[in-house]
Amino acid sequence: MMTKIGLPVIAINFKTYPQATGERAVALATTCEKVAKEHAVSIVVAPQIPDLFRVAEAVDIPVFSQHMDAGDPGRFTGHVLGETLVENGVVGTLLNHSENRMLLADVDASVRKADDLGLYTIVCTNNPVVSVAAASIKPSAVAVEPPELIGSGISVSQAQPEIITDTVNMIRDVNKDVAILCGAGISTGTDVKAAIDLGSQGVLLASAVAKSDKPEDVLLGLIEPIIN
């Protein structure tokens, strides 16, 4: 049975940042869990694949993989299989991140496989048109992220708000149920509030939390518009 992810959600991608690798990934996930539980907010973490088991063992909040392939167990060297993710305590996966793009047919196959395994799927997209294509595959969520703003510190919700509103409007024409998230440059509570006001049901971000010397403080700022 698929894990229910509360909305609005703050999804934290650990990427391959050294500050969020190995035991530091566990420490960061534990901080995310602390904030989520103390303030009753929905926070999802996506560590590197080699760190999934140790993080999932350490926290109760949802742990996602950064990628998943569609293949079945067997002769698939180097692939990331859903069955393995489930065995490691993972409840969902990102797909088609701009730093690990997939063919649409492969996204479709991965979403279908994830559905069979009860895994939540967040398909990343780069613009409203691609978002519509992703939504038609019926993942759990679509996260639109203009690649040029990723890691820039310039929030999509502030710099290109029309991307969010256009994505929301166009997706709802083809899929009334999929969760719609946004990302790229999200770093403050003001960014989160703007995203939600524009119709997003959550945000996907990375460096603002994963590279911070004080991730708890950053998280508290991010959730402020959600809890107030």
**Active-site entry in 57, 145, 148, 224:** 145
- What's the CA angle centered on 99, arms 118 and 2, to 5 degrees? 10
Which SS3 state, helix, strand or coil, does residue 202 take?
A: strand
CB-based contacts of 217-221 (< 8 A; 24+ apart in sequence):
218/187, 219/10, 219/31, 219/32, 219/35, 219/43, 220/35, 220/39, 221/188, 221/189
* DSSP labels, 50-68: GGHHHHHHH-SS-BEES--
**Active-site entry in 33, 38, 79, 97:** 97
Residues in the chain: 228
Active site residue 145: yes
Q: Assess contact for 163 and 183: CB atoms under 8 A.
A: no
Active site residue 148: no
Active-site positions? 97, 145
